[in-house]
Chains A and B, each alone.
Chain A
Amino acid sequence: MDFLSIAWLASIAGVTALYWIVPARVRPFVLPVATAALVGWASPLTVAALTFSVVLCWASYKHLESGWAIAATCAVQLLPLVAWRLDAQVPLPVIAGSLIPLGLAYITLRSVHYLIEAYKRDLPAHRLADVIGYFFFLPTIVAGPIHRFPAWLADQRRLRWNPELFSEGLERILYGYVKIAFLANVLIETRFTGWIHANLADGSRGNLYLLMIAKGLNGYFQFAGYSDVAIGFARLLGFKIIENFDAPLIKPNVQRFWSAWHISLTSWCRDYVYTPVFSLTRARALGIVASMAVLGLWHEFTPRYLAWGLYNGVGIVAWHRWRRVAGERLEDWLDGKPLLTSAWYVLAILMTVHFIFLGFVLVQHPSLTESVRTIGAMIGPR
């Protein structure tokens, strides 16, 4: 199920039309059925994974009380994702290289979110049909965002035909495809990268540096585009789901960057990794590093993603330290000097973007050693 395909566009159009044509009382059932049919056609295993999460969540919501039971359920929920992630590195007997269910990483995090909120008793009263509707929600299955249950339920209950929201949805889908197809694929992937290869010798500093920039920008526009399409599709169906990006490339520090990049994932890590780790240890830095490590490993169980997560975690901790030692004093000194403040702000943005893009190089090559070698060739001594 490729987002950039006629089949996906046709699915969006078909499901949306069917959804609004049927009588209102049938509407909540149309979407799960359409999702099961479309997703099941592309990957039957995904329907199994979704069903697994629905059963686990509903049973826990209805019957589990203790923290230990919920923790055990979370562990069970994590098993499939862990198994497939491991299998990608070291083949496991049962899975043995079979294709991972579509969006399993997202499904798993949604489910863990639901389980923990159920433990906190923070979920509004709801029925099994709501849980099914939440998981079998077509717009976010393939590429997120990791939207939250209470917000989804509120939208489901407020649902009405709203022409403004519908037109916003169309607009977002258009923006999304422009980001993916034009900005990322044509301008950056083809033109800019082509220009780099044509004009700068492979392996030269300039070549490596500009490739880093190109890959960073490409990654952003691709992913933000996918999120736009998902958010837009959800709006066509009357749902306002969580935003995933908030102009992350113009943030003046790493902390702000990570509050603006893949927001649904970083806020998940904040709520379900950082906060528990902090509450157990009262160690803030440990909480940050643990969150970022989980964020890295969520993508892949490899040394390079672990390194990438730790790199960013340490970056955030370092930024906090720096701020306490000198940053606040610098801000005080800059106060009342508009020109210098602006200059510092621009410099801060450039430093942040470079720190982040350098991090992306860590996961560019299949092996971490190779990635480190690339960085060395770019900025190290020759």
Chain B
Amino acid sequence: MSKLSAAILASFSANRRRAYLVGPQDCTFAQLEADVAALAQFFALNQLDGKRVIVATQQDRALLTCFCAALLAGATAAILDPKAPTPELSALVNAADAGGMIADAEVLDRLASADGLRQVPVQIPVNRPAPARGSFRVFGDRKSAAEANDFAGVLAQHVGAKLQATDVDDEAIAYILFTSGTTSRPKGVTISHRALFAQMQTFIRNYGLDDRSRVMNLLPFHHTDGLTQGAMMCLLAGSTFVRPYAFTADILPQMLNDLYKHAVTHLVTVPSVLALTRTLESSFDGAFDYPEFRFVVSTAAFLEPSLWQSCEERFGIQVVNVYGLTETVCETLYSGPAPEHRRLGSVGKPIDSRAKIVDEEGRELGDGQIGELLVAGDHLMSGYFNNPEATAEVLQDGWFRTGDLARRDKDGFYFITGRKKDLIISGGLNIYPEDVNGVLRSIPGVIDAATFGLPDPMWGERAVSCVVCDDGADPSEEELVAQFLERASRQKLPREIVRLECFPRGPAGKVIMSELKRLYATRAGRDQPEGGDSEADVSARLYSIAAQVLRCSPDHLSPASEPDTVPGWTSLSHVEMMLAIEEGFGFKLSSRDIMRFRSLGDAMEIVRNRIAA
């Protein structure tokens, strides 16, 4: 039996009475164990061991049941986004070459009508659970459910099955996550029992997880950050997994209130969610202020040092910045929580893994030099599914080429400085320009497409696409967006689609990206404003005014700075600052402005609004 399977069985038996999932369908470890046992028996009866089982459902409890049952039955779970458009799902279902599929009924209907399910022998629809009359009947009445041919029916038919694990070794593939690919050749990352187990051990030890931990993570399950750095690590640590809803921007205030309400100890999230907290008023400052809370884990994208610092100061918390890829299960470098691993602005140091920086020829570079980051350890993927060429490109001599550019300082801390691969990370989601271009090119009337990333204060990066259209075709941006969304999921949709007459090309016919960006800037009227009132300019002037009044260095100020956090900020200097702002920017603050002004962030907003007006 693999170490992973043994650990799951051990955790189930040690934590039976504890709460595992807090969400729309709460469950204890024992309840999940019973469902997993039933489903694993079903998998065994249908001889799905060694085969792939596709899982695409919005119901967390059903998804986790499938995932665990697949692991224990020796099958490989392939998790897909149930909200992806039909063509994309079809392509992934085809690529997965699966023996079974468990998905929301709506997803199966969509795929069946598009003729995308012919090759999947076993298909189980997940129906929405009937509104529970008692809180214990999450999946409805078992007796009548057993009649049904759906997921609840399968569980009911195998109720009472004893949980046992199929004898697989550590190299068996536990799951596949697809990281790119729309309709062309999708890239599926295969993760072995060995790699997943290694990653879980690191998480549990480094984050200090135990049966008193309560982890909130609202990231999607078809991404490793939701699946492994949430559900799985809680399962193995005996911790409670708090996931009352999926994340949307408007849920943020509720999410922050629910931290205390659910006594959350660890929050796993992405930098853009942290950036969004800047828009919240000061009554949320105490959201993390309770003794059980330990720290925030920021994952999936670059965390701006200023955002990092202002979050820590405003909420009085520690933010642990971590770095990794789907190919390294989830994370590989950690800046925190241990002080010796933490350095602001860095991704910290490798834990339970090794890292090195190499030049173009693969020679290892010394401290301070920028090159490609390579990592090694037990947590590396086994390879890309059915794609030995792509695997050979990135996995060499036990090292994985991350495609990210980095440097290491003399104390051994790693800093990400850029990207070698053609990849845009927007709000923690990976967008591959080639995928986006492929979708755009498939739209009638579009001849060519090129996509690049631009820095974005909220999302880290945003994708911008330029297209060239047929002479006769004249699609508006709205039409292009609508067509795009019929073919690919919303997360791949670029923030802007700009039409150009033609692309600037080099001698070999390749698009010159720097020239394209310049063309885009001109076309979209986005030339950098000359002097005057650019965003950065306003904040720099404001910081310098504040620093002068408060007699401190501007480096110590952030939008979260306010009288409570800055030593020199007394009621007198508050008044002086308002007068200095009026003088410095040449306008008079209104009564409403003065009453609103409590922090530098407020001041920034006030000044911006005044300038805009």
Contacts and interface: CB of A to CB of B under 8 A. Distances in A.
A280 B591 contact: yes
A122 interface: yes
A116 B596 CA distance: 11
A282 B589 CA distance: 11
A157 B253 CA distance: 10
Interface stretch (A2-10, A158-166, A183-191, A346-354): A158-166
A275 B592 CA distance: 10
Interface stretch (A148-156, A219-227, A368-376): A148-156
A122 B281 contact: yes
B572 A279 contact: no
A320 B576 CA distance: 14
Interface string B262-288: 110000000000000000011110110
A300 B594 CA distance: 30
Contact of A157 (B261, B262, B290, B593): B261
Interface in B498-514: none
Contact of B595 (A151, A158, A275): A275
A116 to B, nearest CB: 7
A153 B286 CA distance: 12
B383 to A, nearest CB: 46
Nearest to A240: B286
A120 interface: yes
Chain A interface secondary structure, helix, strand, loop or mixed? helix
Contacts of B283: 124, 150-151, 153-154
Interface string B560-584: 0000000000011001000100000
B207 interface: no
Sort chain A's interface into a size bin.
20 to 34
A162 B261 CA distance: 9
Sort chain B's interface into a size bin.
20 to 34
Contacts of B254: 157
A276 interface: yes
Interface in B574-613: 575, 579, 589-596
Contacts of A159: 261
Nearest to B282: A150
B591 A279 contact: yes
B425 to A, nearest CB: 31
A160 B258 CA distance: 10
A202 interface: no
A284 interface: yes
A149 to B, nearest CB: 9
Given A157-B254, A158-B261, A159-B261, A150 B594 contact: no
A47 to B, nearest CB: 28
A279 B595 contact: yes
A255 B258 CA distance: 38
B553 interface: no
A331 to B, nearest CB: 14
A120 B595 contact: yes
Given A151-B283, A153-B283, A154-B286, A279 B257 contact: no
A271 interface: yes
B175 to A, nearest CB: 35
Contacts of A270: 571
A158 B594 contact: no
A154 B284 contact: yes
Contact of A164 (B282, B291, B590, B591): B291
Contacts of B263: 160, 162
Given A150-B281, A279-B589, A271 B260 contact: no
A20 interface: no
B300 to A, nearest CB: 27
A278 interface: yes
Q: Quick one: which of B283, B572, B575 has the most chain A CB within 10 A?
A: B283
A278 B572 contact: no
Contacts of B287: 154, 158
B575 A124 contact: no
A162 B289 CA distance: 14
Given A124-B281, A284-B575, A154 B257 contact: yes
A122 B596 contact: yes
Interface string A269-304: 011000110111010100000000000000000000
B253 A320 contact: no
Contact of B592 (A120, A153, A284, A320): A120
B596 A120 contact: yes
Interface string A40-84: 000000000000000000000000000100000000000000000
A159 B290 CA distance: 13
A109 to B, nearest CB: 16
A282 to B, nearest CB: 8
A239 to B, nearest CB: 12
Contact of A116 (B571, B593, B595): B595
Given A122-B596, A271-B595, A278 B261 contact: no
A124 B594 contact: no
Interface string A220-260: 00000000000000000000100000000000000100000
Contacts of B571: 255, 270
B230 to A, nearest CB: 21
B281 A158 contact: no
A153 B591 CA distance: 26
A344 B219 CA distance: 58
Interface in B203-258: 253-254, 257-258
Contact of A320 (B259, B260, B572, B593): B572
A282 B579 CA distance: 9
Q: Quick one: which of B260, B589, B593, B596 has the most chain A CB within 10 A?
A: B260
Contacts of B592: 67, 119-120
Contacts of A275: 594-595
Contacts of A164: 291
A334 B411 CA distance: 42
Contacts of B579: 282
Contacts of B590: 279
Interface in B78-124: none
Nearest to B291: A164
B133 to A, nearest CB: 15
Interface string A130-173: 00000000000000000000110110011110101000000000
Nearest to B263: A160
Q: Quick one: which of B253, B257, B258 has the most chain A CB within 10 A?
A: B257
A320 B572 CA distance: 9
Contacts of A122: 281, 596
Interface string A91-127: 0000000000000000000000000100110101000
B44 to A, nearest CB: 41
Nearest to B579: A282
Contacts of A240: 286
A240 to B, nearest CB: 8
A45 B487 CA distance: 65
Given A153-B283, A164-B291, A278-B575, A158 B257 contact: yes
Contacts of A255: 571
A122 B599 CA distance: 14
A278 B594 contact: yes
A284 B571 CA distance: 10
Contacts of A151: 283, 286
A279 B590 CA distance: 7
A279 B594 contact: yes
Contacts of B259: 158
Given A160-B260, A164-B291, 7 more contacts: A124-B283, A154-B283, A158-B257, A158-B287, A275-B595, A279-B593, A279-B595
6 contacts: A67-B592, A116-B595, A120-B592, A151-B283, A159-B261, A275-B594
Interface of A: 67, 116, 119-120, 122, 124, 150-151, 153-154, 157-160, 162, 164, 240, 255, 270-271, 275-276, 278-280, 282, 284, 320
Interface of B: 253-254, 257-263, 281-284, 286-287, 290-291, 571-572, 575, 579, 589-596
Closest 9 CB pairs of A and B: A150-B283, A279-B594, A157-B257, A158-B260, A279-B591, A158-B257, A154-B283, A158-B261, A160-B261
